[in-house]
Structure 1
Amino acid sequence: MMTELTNGHTAVSNEDEDERRTEVGEPVSEPPEEGSASGTPAMTADGAETVDGVARRAELASVDIEWNVPDTSNLHDIGEASFGTPPPLAETVHGPDDRVQITTTSVYPWRVHASLLITAADNSMWIGTGWFNGPHTLITAGHVVYIKNSGVPGRDGWVKSITVMPGRNGSTLPYGTVISRSFRSVSGWINNGDENYDYGAILLNSELGNTVGWFGFGVYSDSDLQSSTANISGYPGDKPSGTQWYASRRIASVNSRKVFYDVDTAGGQSGSAVYRIINGQRYAVAIHAYGGAITNSGTRIVSPVYNNLLNWKK
């Protein structure tokens, strides 16, 4: 079982030469120094974001860049390319919709999340979400960068390009757009389409992460995760195009490969960070990838996942 787990995490690149992998022993990768303004808590008592009245550092919030905003209003979640048309949204929004719209997307931590416009190999277009884990790298779901079993001629395989829009707020792009054609995933997803290995990365030629910041990420025990609050923010397709929405709730359960949570999400949020807050700092514990009738789920950051995320960050 352990050999299977490790082998499925063998890193794969869409470029001619795969980057070198480095085995790393540290269990936590730290985010840059960020946080709330003096006297303003960065989280609630149960580990959720303080959305209303937040006064976080916003030294870049006044940046006003004019860009052409792509029309994503009629596009579908990239998950549909690999898995087909989903069941009703009620299976991912459980009961009353607890999501809150984020409008201060140009401040940390909201600007770490990016709206993605994905062009597949057959030139079909889709939406998804990614989050910065370093200066030039975003983490996302494996099915965002590599399409499996679509049944459509010419669609399967590495996507052609992804337009990354950090901190997007509808028609406002506080940090413009950047296009990537460099992607990473792992053999468990590329070869088998196994949802337990559904994670990947988007590499940029620029170091935009030095401007918007990024999240740390770490490996945590079952008991630690089950006592933590899962925070998720992203770009769902059931809301106005390109708007960011956030929700949180205590982690429901975990297994050796996945984290489960009753946090409301919808198609388009594939690739969102599932993160916890420790001493005002954000640390991803999973990559959101799937909905469910009772709980939604993400690929858990265990040691092999951590090692890949750290290597892709370099």
Structure 2
Amino acid sequence: MSNTVETEAAVLVRQENAEQGTSPGAAEPLSTGLEFVEGYQPMLESVAAVELTAEPELVFPDAAHASFGLPTVVAETVQGPDDRVQITTTGVYPWRAHASLEITAADGSRWIGTGWFIGPHTLMTAGHCVFIKNSGVVGRDGFVRSIKVMPGRNGATLPFGAVTSTDFRTVRGWADNGDQNYDYGAIVLPTDLGATTGWFGFGVYDDSTLTDSIGNLSGYPGDKPAGTQWFHARKLVSVGPRKVYYDIDTMGGQSGSAVYRIVNGQRYAVAVHAYGGSSNSGTRITDPVFTNMVSWKA
């Protein structure tokens, strides 16, 4: 085990480039920046905020609840009608670059989340999927014991098998302070499974570019049949210095999913999905986040 907490590196010049993986058998994205999903009828504009009255019932426990318990404020939400669509062709790119996570915490409790490949042996996810903070449960806080990574999972079917990792990364803003603005981390595999699945690019983009972009998001929600992958997309709503906000439908278990835009047919993550509320939100890929991702990928 070689778990690492990094201090975010400062950079003086914005990174305008992005790392992009390639893979045969890729689904063709639409020219609008929306992922092509057969049968999906997108409603891309923002919708009215949903009044949250209770925590939705999850069949499987979301990793966010390990750190936060069950407060409504972090509940991931369906915004308006639930028009998420199930991905059944998980054996092709980009769907196989998403992974279902089975997380075993330090106290032996088990949780679910989502990760996505950024290189042959590295996946990004939420910080709270790799490092539990302020749980209030004796022996639970800190780096998790292990994570079982299942790329392209489709229920009981594991087209690329499963790999268990005990090697994780996060940053001090999350590990030391539990600051939601720094809620991101990485899983390092003992194999190069990502060379088979392919991986996502990632990039740093200015505010106007992001608010003019369609956000695509796919992951493994806990309110659907176990281990099934679900997709949704909408225009990004707003951005902050460290967060990206959107009305993309999500539910617990999708913590750690990539929020990505499509540029010239290539897929570039702009945020790591982590939270819900009147708008769902993710940790924005800023210059220091980008720098860490490049380091963790290497």
Q: Give the unaligned 5+ runs of structure 1.
A: 1-12, 55-72
Q: Which moved more, 1:98-107 or 1:21-30?
A: 21-30
1:276 to 261, 264, 268: 261
Is the contact between residue 148 and residue 157 of structure 1 (CA under 8 Å) also seen in structure 2? Answer: yes
Equivalent position of 2:143 in the other structure? 158
Q: Give the unaligned 5+ runs of structure 2.
A: 41-57
Q: What is the DSSP-based 3-state SS (H/G/I as helix, E as strand, rest coil) of the residue aligned with 1:139? A: strand
2:229 to 217, 221, 244: 244
User: How much does 1:94 deviate?
Assistant: 1.2
**What is the one-letter code of the residue matched to 2:19?**
E
User: How much does 1:98 deviate?
Assistant: 1.8
Equivalent position of 2:35 in the other structure? 49
**What is the one-letter code of the residue matched to 2:130?**
V
**What is the one-letter code of the residue matched to 1:162?**
I
TM alignment of 1:1-314, pairs within 5 A? 14=3, 26-34=15-23, 42-52=28-38, 74-87=59-72, 92-293=77-278, 295-314=279-298
Write out per-residue CA displacement over residues 8-63 of structure 1, whole angstroms, 9 at most, x where no aligned residue: xxxxx625x979x79796432332234777xxx82224311111189xxxxxxxxx
What is the aligned length?
A: 279
Give the distance between the partners of 1:88 and 1:260, measured in 2 at CA. 14
Give the distance between the partners of 2:74 and 2:176, measured in 1 at CA. 29
Is the contact between residue 76 and residue 252 of structure 2 (CA under 8 Å) also seen in structure 1? Answer: no
Equivalent position of 2:53 in the other structure? none
Write out per-residue CA displacement over residues 160-194 of structure 1, whole angstroms, 9 at most, x where no aligned residue: 00000000000100000000000000000000000
Is the contact between residue 36 and residue 42 of structure 1 (CA under 8 Å) also seen in structure 2? Answer: no
Is the contact between residue 59 and residue 223 of structure 2 (CA under 8 Å) also seen in structure 1? Answer: no
Give the distance between the partners of 1:268 and 1:18, measured in 2 at CA. 25
**Percent identity over the alignment?**
63
User: How much does 1:74 deviate?
Assistant: 4.9
**What is the one-letter code of the residue matched to 1:47?**
G
**What is the one-letter code of the residue matched to 1:110?**
W
Give the distance between the partners of 1:199 and 1:22, measured in 2 at CA. 17
User: How much does 1:244 deviate?
Assistant: 0.1
Give the distance between the partners of 2:190 and 2:12, measured in 1 at CA. 24
Is the contact between residue 6 and residue 171 of structure 2 (CA under 8 Å) also seen in structure 1? Answer: no
Is the alpha carbon distance of 1:312 and 1:35 closer, same or farther for their aligned partners in structure 2, counting shifts above 3 Å? same
Give the distance between the partners of 2:75 and 2:63, measured in 1 at CA. 19
Q: Which moved more, 1:23-32 or 1:239-248?
A: 23-32
Give the distance between the partners of 2:252 and 2:39, measured in 1 at CA. 28
CA RMSD of aligned residues (A): 2.5
Is the contact between residue 72 and residue 277 of structure 2 (CA under 8 Å) also seen in structure 1? Answer: no
Q: What is the DSSP-based 3-state SS (H/G/I as helix, E as strand, rest coil) of the residue aligned with 1:82? A: helix
Write out per-residue CA displacement over residues 55-108 of structure 1, whole angstroms, 9 at most, x where no aligned residue: xxxxxxxxxxxxxxxxxx953000001111143999610110121100000000
Is the alpha carbon distance of 1:24 and 1:208 closer, same or farther for their aligned partners in structure 2, counting shifts above 3 Å? farther
Is the contact between residue 145 and residue 185 of structure 1 (CA under 8 Å) also seen in structure 2? Answer: yes
